Amino acid sequence: MLFEGLYKTCDPGYSSGPIDTYASGLRRRLGAEVSAAVSPAGAAPAATPSGVEAGDGSDTDATPVDFRTVALRRAKEQLRADAEFLEQIGRSIGIPWFVVQNKIKGFLPESMTDREELALQLVADAVTEHAGPENEAWHRERRAKKGDPTKLLVWIVKGPAA
């Protein structure tokens, strides 16, 4: 017996709405993240080879944006606006590198699978954009960890290295 004879079509007239699938949910979630990253930035979207589009995925006329670039730029902007970061980077004692890294990671969208690595790479760039060139406006300093002096932590300290 044929398949068509064994099973009836659920919507033979194609009159019901779309069903909610994993793919449609993923498209909505990622589309919302792209919209959130693009909207506040106010930047003109740039073409991307991945073809990620702004919106909820239902707008086929949307201009493609480079989601990664926009998200990285937004993370740096949010860091520069973070009051706690501004207070800590201005102190003479400085701020631990990992604190800045974790702040940047928190500003990146959760859908970015390489958030940890991207945040690590963005620290020097973000601090340079905020404070000025490394080794002139700020420098890296290795200090022993309080609870374990055998481990060294990297600190960001304002001013040139001594």
**To which residue do tokens 């995925």 refer?**
57
Residue 16 counted as domain residue: no
Whether 2 is in a domain gets the answer: no
Residue 67 lies in a domain: yes
Residues making up the chain, counted from first to last: 162
Res 47 pLDDT > 70: no
- Residue 25 domain-assigned? yes
What would the pLDDT profile of 51-76 be if each residue is shown by its tens digit? 444 444 455 556 777 888 888 999 99
Give me the sign of the Cα torsion angle 110, 63, 19, 1.
negative
pLDDT tens digits, 7-33: 888 888 889 888 899 999 988 888 888
Taking the whole predicted model, whether its pTM rises above 0.85 is answered as no
The domain tally of the chain equals: 1
Answer whether residue 13 is part of any domain. Answer: no
pLDDT at residue 90 tops 70: yes
Among the residue ranges 14-18, 79-83, 136-140, the one predicted with the least confidence is 14-18
| Domain limits for position 35 | 21-158
Specify if 3 maps to a domain: no
- How confident is the model over 95-104, as a mean pLDDT? 95
Q: Is residue 28 part of a domain?
A: yes
- The verdict on residue 12 lying in a domain is no
Q: Give the single-character DSSP code of 45.
A: P
Instruction: Compute CA 86 distance to the chain's CA centroid, rounded to the nearest angstrom.
Output: 20
DSSP state of 143: E
Distance CA 140, CA 161 (A): 8
Range in 47-51, 93-97, 103-107, 132-136 with the lowest mean pLDDT: 47-51
- Looking at the DSSP assignment, which residues form a beta bridge with residue 105? none
Mean pLDDT of the chain: 83
Q: Which residues contact 124 (CB under 8 A, 6 or more apart)?
A: 134
| Cβ neighbours of 120 (radius 10 Å) | 16
